[in-house]
Amino acid sequence: MRYDDTKSIHSHKFYDEETGTFIPPIYLAVVYEHPDKRTGKPRTVDRGTELKYGREENPTVRALERVLAALEAGDDALAFNSGMAALAAAILALTPPGAEIVVPMEAYGKTLALLREFSRRLRARLRLVWPSTDSIINAVSRRTSIVLVETMTNPTLKVIDVRRVAEYCRDNGAILVVDNTFATPVLYNPLKDSASLVVHSLTKYLAGHNDVLGGAVIGDRETVLGIWEWRTLLGGIMQAFEAYLALRGVKTLVLRVEKQSRTALEIAEFLQDHPRISEVYYPGLDTSPYKPVADKLFKKKLYGGVVSFKVKGGREEALRLMRRLNIIKPAPSLGGTESLITMPAATAASAIPPEDRKALGIDESLLRLSIGLEDPEDLIEDLSRALQ
């Protein structure tokens, strides 16, 4: 299979001999005959781990993992009950005591909070750096164990040249973990550019309907097996019903991200021309300083479904806009069918220290809009009316 839309539908490879169905069911079972009475040996899933207990493996979750591995061009994947659970297991598996971790100071707030706590407890050194490709590269040395970057920063959508960072990490023996939640595999595959591991919040575009909480890691066989141990110890495996919904959701990933990206560009252009808006952050705009690197990395000339912008008049005017919207709902998530708007300074970016937020320009006039699947004209009308 060459193309993402085909992979998203067929790479689960599920087939039931007894019924002939190729639609993966929801396996609620927690226990499995062990050892297999027919063979006398343990039953295993295709990565070689045993299928005997629900905290270790589940066939519905396994079907989803095969799709995720195919979409991100990895050997293998693991699904977790949230993006944070995936990230926590990955960091625990990959960080030796006394390690040095490099991360841009603009990242999902809870990711920064997790790294801060872990580095304190694991006696690791956390280096927060300016969110630019050059600053990240300059911070990496032979002492660095892990570099964690988001393909597009949250919330001001700076595009990091992951290809350059990955080459530099490889030359210096550092592990590069890429949170590809905002870009999705439809836009970019970090593993193809030799990143070591991809992390996703499945809660966002991959499941895509604002009704599933989940996370995933995707990488080479050995790295994923190491993280599997931690998933088992922490009990973080995704549940079967959520995996079923995510499998169903991911079948339309390409369609959704293509439409969301097209609508996002239209809305970014509308906002850019609006007298009540002072700044628009979207890497697909011709005026964006990140368009060249986005064009270098991203497939299909798509730039994702998130647009951030600043409202003239600060916090009060921004809150007023949020209150006056009808179709676009105020809620702190992204990547789903419903368009959502949030004030990052009060939500996702609140864990960034105030002085860093100030330097990054994340103030209370900044709003982050996640484009859903509504008609672009309805969304523009909603924004236009609310801005009047």
Decide if 42 contacts 57 (C-beta within 8 A): no
State the catalytic residue, choosing from 27, 52, 62, 108.
108
Is position 177 an interface residue for ligand PLP (rule: CB under 6 A)? Answer: no
Decide if 245 contacts 211 (C-beta within 8 A): yes
State the catalytic residue, choosing from 179, 205, 231, 281.
179
Is position 213 an interface residue for ligand PLP (rule: CB under 6 A)? Answer: yes
Give the burial string for 127-148 (b: 16+ CB within 10 Å, else e). bbbbbebeebbebbeeebbbbb
Q: Kindly give, in sequence order, each residue whose CB lies less than 8 Å from that of residue 290, ignoring residues fewer than 6 positions away.
A: 157, 158, 159, 283
Torsion, Cα of 79, 83, 84, 90 (10° steps): 50
Q: Is 205 a catalytic residue?
A: no
Compare residues 54 and 83 and give the one whose CB is closer to ligand PLP: 83
Window 104-123: residues binding ligand PLP (CB under 6 A): 108, 111
Stretch that binds ligand PLP, among 47-55, 76-84, 162-170, 268-276 (CB under 6 A): 76-84
Window 140-169: residues binding ligand PLP (CB under 6 A): 150, 154
Q: Is 204 a catalytic residue?
A: yes
Size of the site for ligand PLP (CB under 6 A): 15
Q: Is 179 a catalytic residue?
A: yes
Decide if 341 contacts 368 (C-beta within 8 A): yes
Stretch that binds ligand PLP, among 52-60, 82-90, 266-274, 380-388 (CB under 6 A): 82-90
Is position 82 an interface residue for ligand PLP (rule: CB under 6 A)? Answer: yes
The SS3 of residue 245 is: helix
Q: Is 48 exposed, middle or buried (0-12, 13-18, 19+ CB in 10 A)?
A: exposed
DSSP assignment string, 196-232: SEEEEETTTTTT-SS----EEEEE-HHHHHHHHHHHH
E strands of 98-181, at which residues?
A: 100-104, 125-129, 144-150, 175-179
Binding mask 36-75 for ligand PLP (x = CB under 6 A): ----------------------------------------
Is position 83 an interface residue for ligand PLP (rule: CB under 6 A)? Answer: yes
Smallest distance, ligand PLP to C-beta of residue 196, A: 17
Beta-carbon count within 10 A of 46 CB: 10
Smallest distance, ligand PLP to C-beta of residue 90, A: 11
Q: Please identify which residue in 65, 100, 179, 269 interacts with ligand PLP, judged by CB under 6 A.
A: 179
Q: Kindly give, in sequence order, each residue whose CB lies less than 8 Å from that of residue 3, ignoring residues fewer than 6 positions away.
A: none
Is position 201 an interface residue for ligand PLP (rule: CB under 6 A)? Answer: yes
- Rounded CA-CA distance 38/118 in Å is 45
Smallest distance, ligand PLP to C-beta of residue 350, A: 12
Window 341-360: residues binding ligand PLP (CB under 6 A): 348
Write out the catalytic residue numbers.
55, 108, 179, 204
Which residues contact ligand PLP by CB under 6 A? Answer: 82-84, 108, 111, 150, 154, 179, 181-182, 201, 203, 213, 215, 348
